[in-house]
Amino acid sequence: MCGQREDAEEVAQETMLKTFESFHQLRDPERVRPWVFRIAKNVCLTKRRKSIFAPSPAQEISLDELMPSRDSRDGRMKLEIADWSNLPEDHVLRAEMKTALEAAIRELPEIYRSVILLRDAQELSTAEAAQILDVTEDVVKTRLHRARLAVRKHLDERLRRVKKAVTL
Amino acid sequence: MNAQVPSGRCKEVFAALSEYLDMDLPPESCEELESHLEGCPPCIEFVKSLRKSIELCREYTPTELPKPLSDEARHQLQEAYQRMLLARERPE
C-alpha cells in the first residue's frame, strides 16, 4: 500500500504502537486481524497525505483497457494469451513470474493494490476488506476483478517476452 | 500463443470471471458461464491464465525482509505493550 519500503517500515511500527494503545477499543477479539489492517490503512493514508511524493487522487482502471486486443485489420476482438501450461513445473519461469508479479502489484493504482493485497495475498474475505477500506463489498469485488485482470495482463505480457527470448 | 476471435458473449464472461473463480456467482449465472466456456477455447485459456495469476498472488510474499527494529522503536513498542497490558488489567 505504501509503495516505498522505508515508508512501509515506519507504517508498520506506527501501526503496532496504535494497536497497543487502542487495544481496549477492540470490540470483537475474533476480528483482530481486519481491525489491525484498518489501523494500518489509516496510518498509511495519513503518512501519504503528509508526503510531498503523495500520488495523485485515485486512478481508475477501465475494464475496456483490460479486454483482449482488437485485430487492427478487421477491428474484431481477438484473444492473445501466452501458454501458461508449463508454469507450475518450470522453476526459472516461476522465479521470473514472481519478479513480474511484484512489479505488477507495485504498478497498480493504490485503490486496486490495497484490494488485491488484502483479498488475495492476505486472503481476507470481501466483507473484511470492505470494512478495512471503508467501501462497499461491491466496490471491493469490482476493484479486485480489475486488479486481477491488470496483474494477469502484466504477467501474460512478461511471459510472452520471456518465451520469445528463449525461442530466439 | 492463441489468437482466436471470441463472440460478444465473451465480454460478459470476461466481466464475471473473478466472481466465478471466487464461487460468488449465483448458480444460474454460473451455469450460463460454464455453458459458454464449454464451447469457447479462448475463454477457457483466459480463465486458466487468470486462475494462475490469482494463485501466484496468493503465494505472494515480498522478497525483501524488513530491517531489524531500531533500539528506540523497540523501546517504544515495549512501553506501549506494557501500557496495553496494564489497561487490560485495570479497565476503566
- Cβ A105–B57 below 8 Å, yes or no? yes
pLDDT of residue A77: 47
The band of B64, judged by pLDDT with boundaries at 50, 70 and 90, is low
Cα of A52 to nearest chain B Cα, Å: 24
Angstrom distance (rounded) from CA B53 to CA A94: 11
Domains and CATH numbers, chain A: 1-54 (no CATH), 59-168 (1.10.10.10)
Nearest CA among A112, A104, A98, A146 for reference residue B55: A98
pLDDT in tens, chain A (168 residues): 666 667 777 788 888 888 877 877 777 777 788 888 888 888 887 777 666 555 555 677 877 777 766 555 544 445 556 666 666 566 777 778 888 898 999 899 989 999 999 999 988 999 999 989 989 999 999 999 999 999 999 988 888 887 777 666
Grid coordinates 486496486 are at which residue? Answer: A112
- Mutant choice from B4, B37, B55, B57 vs A, greatest count of A C-beta within 10 A: B57
B54 chain-A contacts, CB cut-off 8 A: 120, 148
In chain A, residues with a C-beta closer than 8 Å to the C-beta of B23 are none
In angstroms, the CA A132 to CA A45 distance is: 12
Residues of B in contact with A152 (CB under 8 A): 49-50, 53
Q: What is the number of alpha carbons within 13 Å of residue A166 lying toward its C-beta?
A: 10
